[in-house]
Amino acid sequence: MELHVIKNDDTTMTMAYRVARIVYAETLAKSLRVVEAMTSMIANATVNNKISIDDFISNTNIFESLNHESTRHAYLSVDAKTPAFQMCVRVAQRMLRGNLADSCNHATIFHREDIMPQWAMSRGYVADIDGILFYK
């Protein structure tokens, strides 16, 4: 048997950590299911909108945690050793490798159940996972 060393590309790891921080801040990693759904939503949105992952996860109109006034903003600074955050990193790595199934029914945007943005009033959600509603 021949063994091969698999090396992580530094840019891929950096992007995995960036995605994981957003996913963690938005979902608090309540479950693997919601982490996979949020991460697959990011993948769907970037493909459908033909934009980079970096551009999408930097959008303050989509991700509340990016706004400094938000109570979720502090979660972006989660300790990288936290098991829940490490789960987010592993899922983000799977997404970046193209190995993450779509677990949000092709959704490209979301909101939490405790708010109702104007854009959501004319749409029906396609998934409700741990209090996060996903839309196409």
Q: Are 113 and 132 in contact, with CB atoms under 8 Å apart?
A: yes
| Residue 27 neighbours by CB under 8 Å, 6+ apart | 34, 35, 38, 88, 130, 132
3-state secondary structure of 132: strand
Residue 3 lies in a domain: no
Task: Give me the domain span that covers residue 61.
Answer: 10-101
3-state secondary structure of 123: coil
Q: Is 34 within a domain?
A: yes
- The predicted pLDDT at position 4 comes to 52
Say if 59 falls within a structural domain.
Answer: yes
- Model pTM? 0.90
Residue holding tokens 């936290």? 82
Low-confidence ranges of the chain (pLDDT < 70): 1-9
* Number of domains the chain contains: 1
Indicate whether 68 belongs to any domain: yes
Is residue 35, in this structure, part of any structural domain at all? yes
Which two structure tokens, joined as six digits, stand for 13? Answer: 């790891």
Return the pLDDT at 11: 83
Residue 124 within a domain? no
Question: Is there a domain that residue 117 lies in?
Answer: no
Task: Please name the residue that has the structure tokens 């990016």.
Answer: 66
Cβ atoms of residues 20 and 92 within 8 Å: yes
Domain presence at residue 131: no
Confirm if 24 and 85 have CB atoms less than 8 A apart.
yes
